């Protein structure tokens, strides 16, 4: 195989992709954008997703080879391609790849360095293991279509392929981690990231449940009043945010309501009764009607606050920040011409990735690639016979985690899952929110340092001496103001990998703006999609941008560590929530001349069509998905309808006449994908979910028995580890300081100065 001249961190990696629809192709795209050479193998009639405009996004930068894997010649060519590959991707149903002669056991026998990544619908533990894994069915099974007041108490559908996207995100992290493991051992391994499993990573803190601890929410006021959508004078909506007192000061200063500041800030950090919250929400609602949404966005951000207009995806695609920060890029597509697409998700500043080209035409490179195989011997990875087995991909890697909230700490948690020693540097001036903290800080050790003091920064620099990675998620210049930014660290630690995550990325005019999950959803079009262009914007059920960005941060770190394994060079890497929001909306995050936007949106959405839709049965809601005419015909036959064009109301009436279990028993044997529409509580204690470790219950040192998320990716040689429960603030302060060489007397001096703080359970 020939190289393409890429400077990306994966420029030495060759990928063979048997993917179709969304998850496999999206994983191939993420690898291609970072320099990998991706060959997409398609059946003679092509990937079924070729009919979708977003095919041009999911398959950009690849070569297409058309092979009939049902023939001996096709299988032989596929196996020869695999013998020269570093990574194989497939998202068939379990057993299909084996039947086609391209399963892991067969391909790895001749290529021991092969990393083989499968993205099926369901994991080995699931009773639907052999069923097709359609996105809307899995979303229904994992609580992504909740019943809401806004939708009249009915479940609210969203067309975003969250399960496929998270499977691809987790797949990219897992592949990059496996590459790091192979750098040390020369050996490959098998990876599996089912779509159903990946959804539990997307749920994150929504899984948290205290089983014997009375949780007191100290964030009542900011959650209810500060973090809220408000309608403005022009009828447009803004989403306002700010979890800390300074944001209230900034907003009220921008509003000219400084007389409210003392009263409002007194409500932070303590429980607040519902009547008081209602009063202040009403005051804020009246205040925001005084100016247009665009004026509020400008005025509040000018004061350093956090606010964005809830935009449509069309508005974000042409927005100055999105375009200048390359969250939106244009390519020349073979079918659609100049086409807007999501930009490169992670930015490696030393080995920058790039979109390597347009999506290929079907079989466009078949002759070229097959001809290149004629005299090309198998290329197994170089294996060090003396290489020791390793238990985890990041064994021996130390991470300093300076992050707060969800996205940044998720990056650190993920690095810890793959074996890194993660030291969480907690800020003693912050109020701890146990719900988020428990979820994203398991597997870490905590030291409480005040980095605003000279002594605290001195400890930080001492810890840097043994660190390989630093992760932070502040505004662009915040750590620079403390003298702890990448350029400063690089001077004393040239091989450091320094990861930065924020809301709006580190390029463009908004790189200094504060932001949260809600603002990324608001500015990128996600809230408008869910609430409808004529309605009130609505948030997605899970913090998908936070968790997705955390995964992308871990992906970037793993890429940079692979580069360091090859060259010894460190670098800075970064990403942002708004970048992730574009990828999560990939079927609709595009535009080209002649494109007719007819997106599914709003509180009346129940599905794509009568063929793929939420229906109410006699005892609850279910989701029916018919991927083709044959399945739809079987569906109608199961309802005793003979006309394929039967009236939608008649179908709904027929389904209401019987129970969910009845329709499951009747329709599944006919090849119809059907599932109950579940909530978190429906599957929280499901033996399948529990046995797989997606939700675990463990005793915490302070909060007692707690339900929280588990690991979801499966790697055969270096599996992710759950790690101990999240620490409390400063739990390991003495331990970490002692490891860094401080004596007991020096530790006491640091505590006396306020630089290091004693544990606070």
pLDDT at 474: 86
pLDDT tens-digit readout, 586-615: 999 999 999 999 999 999 999 999 999 999
Cβ–Cβ under 8 Å, residues 590 and 445: no
The Cα angle at residue 691 between residues 686 and 697, in degrees rounded to 5:
80
Cα dihedral 672, 678, 682, 683 sign: positive
Residue 356, CA distances (Å) to 31, 249, 298, 539 in order: 11, 46, 36, 34
Cα separation, 382 vs 392, in Å, equals: 20
Bridge partners (DSSP) listed for residue 616: 621
Cα separation, 461 vs 469, in Å, equals: 13
Cα separation, 381 vs 645, in Å, equals: 56
Cα separation, 626 vs 624, in Å, equals: 7
| DSSP for residue 496 | -
The Cα angle at residue 413 between residues 16 and 550, in degrees rounded to 5:
60
pLDDT at 726: 97
Cβ–Cβ under 8 Å, residues 354 and 31: no
Residue 471, CA distances (Å) to 404, 611, 653, 682 in order: 10, 45, 54, 36
Q: Choose among 633, 629, 631: nearest CA to 641.
A: 633
**Per-residue tokens: 329:** 């890029």
Cα separation, 241 vs 632, in Å, equals: 45
Q: Domains in the chain, please, with CATH?
A: 607-681 (3.30.1540.10)
Cβ neighbors of 687 (< 8 A, separation 6 or more) are none
pLDDT at 174: 98
pLDDT at 94: 94
β-strand pairing of 398-401 with 469-472: parallel
**Per-residue tokens: 95:** 């057993």
Cβ neighbors of 443 (< 8 A, separation 6 or more) are 413, 416, 417, 422, 721, 722, 723, 724
pLDDT at 3: 42
Q: Is 301 left (phi over 0), alpha (psi -120 to 50) or beta?
A: alpha
Cβ–Cβ under 8 Å, residues 307 and 517: no
Cα separation, 425 vs 539, in Å, equals: 30
| φ/ψ of residue 359, rounded to 5 | -70, 145
CA atoms within 13 Å, Cβ hemisphere of 181: 28
Cβ–Cβ under 8 Å, residues 42 and 180: no
Cα separation, 557 vs 346, in Å, equals: 10
Length of the chain: 761
**Per-residue tokens: 444:** 């870490």
Cβ neighbors of 321 (< 8 A, separation 6 or more) are 327, 504, 508, 509, 510
E-strand ranges in 618-722 read 620-625, 673-676, 695-700, 704-709, 714-715
Cα separation, 167 vs 21, in Å, equals: 13
What is the SS3 assignment for 336-386? CEEEEEECCCCEECCCCCCCCCCCCCCCCCHHHHHHHHCCCCCCCCCCCCC
pTM: 0.97
Cβ–Cβ under 8 Å, residues 122 and 52: no
The Cα angle at residue 499 between residues 494 and 505, in degrees rounded to 5:
130
What is the SS3 assignment for 281-324? HHHHHHHHCCCCHHHHHHHHHHCCCEEEECCCHHHHHCCHHHHH
Cα separation, 294 vs 286, in Å, equals: 16
Parts of the chain with a pLDDT under 50: 1-3, 385-386
pLDDT tens-digit readout, 48-103: 999 999 999 999 999 999 999 999 999 999 999 999 999 999 999 999 999 999 99
């Amino acid at each position: 195989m020939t190289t393409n001249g890429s400077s990306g961190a994966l420029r030495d990696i060759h990928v063979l992709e048997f993917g179709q629809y969304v998850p496999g192709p999206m994983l191939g795209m993420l690898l291609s954008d970072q320099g990998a050479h991706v060959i997409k193998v398609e059946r003679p009639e092509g990937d079924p997703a070729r009919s979708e405009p977003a095919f041009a996004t999911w398959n950009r930068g690849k070569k297409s080879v058309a092979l009939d894997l049902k023939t001996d010649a096709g299988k032989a060519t596929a196996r020869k391609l695999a013998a020269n590959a570093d990574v194989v991707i497939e998202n068939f149903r379990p057993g299909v790849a084996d039947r086609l002669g391209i399963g892991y056991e067969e391909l790895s026998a001749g290529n021991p360095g092969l990393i083989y990544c499968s993205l099926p619908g369901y994991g080995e533990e699931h009773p639907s293991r052999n069923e097709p894994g359609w996105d809307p069915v899995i979303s229904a099974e994992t609580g992504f279509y909740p019943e809401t007041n806004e939708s009249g108490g009915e479940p609210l559908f969203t067309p975003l392929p969250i399960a496929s996207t998270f499977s691809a995100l987790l797949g990219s992290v897992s592949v990059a981690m496996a590459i790091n493991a192979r750098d040390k051992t020369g050996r490959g391994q098998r990876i599996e990231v089912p779509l159903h499993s990946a959804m539990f990573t997307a749920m994150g803190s929504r899984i948290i449940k205290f089983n014997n601890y009375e949780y007191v929410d100290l964030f009542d006021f900011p959650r209810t009043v500060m973090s809220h959508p408000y309608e403005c004078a022009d009828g447009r909506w803004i989403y306002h945010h700010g979890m800390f007192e300074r944001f209230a000061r900034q907003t009220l200063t921008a509003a000219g309501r400084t007389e409210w500041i003392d009263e409002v800030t007194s409500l932070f950090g303590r429980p607040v009764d519902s009547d008081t919250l209602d009063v202040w929400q009403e005051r804020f609602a009246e205040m925001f009607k005084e100016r247009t949404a665009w004026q509020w966005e400008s005025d509040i951000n000018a004061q350093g606050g956090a606010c964005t207009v809830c935009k449509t995806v069309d508005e974000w695609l042409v927005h100055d920040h999105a375009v200048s920060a390359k969250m939106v890029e244009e390519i020349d597509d073979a079918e659609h011409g100049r086409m807007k697409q999501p930009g490169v998700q992670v930015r490696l500043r030393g080995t920058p990735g790039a979109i390597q080209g347009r999506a290929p035409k079907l079989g466009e490179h078949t002759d070229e690639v097959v001809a290149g195989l004629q005299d090309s011997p198998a290329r197994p990875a170089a294996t060090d016979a003396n290489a020791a087995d390793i238990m985890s991909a990041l064994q021996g890697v130390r991470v300093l985690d300076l992050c707060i909230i969800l996205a940044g700490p998720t990056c650190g948690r993920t690095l810890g899952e793959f074996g890194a020693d993660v030291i969480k540097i907690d800020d003693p001036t912050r109020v701890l929110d146990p719900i988020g903290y428990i979820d994203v800080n398991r597997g870490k050790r905590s030291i409480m340092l005040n980095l605003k003091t000279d002594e605290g920064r001195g400890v930080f620099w001492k810890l840097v001496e043994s660190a390989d990675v630093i992760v932070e998620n502040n505004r662009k210049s915040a750590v620079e103001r403390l003298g702890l930014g990448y350029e400063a660290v690089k001077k004393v630690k040239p091989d450091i990998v320094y990861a930065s995550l924020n809301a709006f990325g580190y390029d463009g005019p908004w790189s200094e703006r504060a932001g949260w999950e809600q603002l990324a959803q608001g500015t990128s079009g996600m809230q408008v999609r869910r609430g409808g262009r004529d309605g009130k914007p609505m948030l997605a059920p899970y913090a998908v941008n936070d968790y997705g960005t955390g995964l992308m941060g871990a992906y970037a770190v793993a890429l940079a560590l692979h580069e360091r394994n090859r060259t010894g060079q460190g670098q800075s890497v970064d990403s942002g929530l708004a970048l992730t929001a574009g990828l999560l909306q990939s079927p609709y995050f595009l535009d080209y001349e002649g494109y007719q936007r007819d997106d599914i949106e709003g509180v009346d959405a129940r599905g794509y069509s009568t063929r793929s839709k939420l229906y109410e049965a006699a005892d609850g809601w279910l989701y029916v998905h018919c991927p083709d005419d044959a399945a739809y015909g079987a569906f109608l036959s199961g309802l005793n309808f003979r006309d394929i064009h039967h009236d939608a109301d008649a179908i709904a009436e027929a389904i209401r006449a019987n129970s969910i279990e009845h329709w499951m028993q009747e329709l599944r044997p006919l090849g119809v994908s059907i599932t109950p529409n579940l909530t978190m509580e429906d599957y929280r204690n499901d033996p399948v979910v529990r046995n797989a470790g997606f939700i675990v219950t463990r005793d915490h040192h302070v909060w007692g028995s707690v339900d929280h998320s588990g690991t979801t990716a499966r790697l055969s040689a270096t599996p992710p580890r759950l790690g101990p429960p999240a620490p409390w603030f400063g739990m390991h302060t003495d331990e970490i300081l002692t490891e860094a060489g401080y004596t007991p007397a020096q530790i006491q001096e640091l505590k006396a100065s306020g630089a290091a703080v004693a544990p606070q359970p």
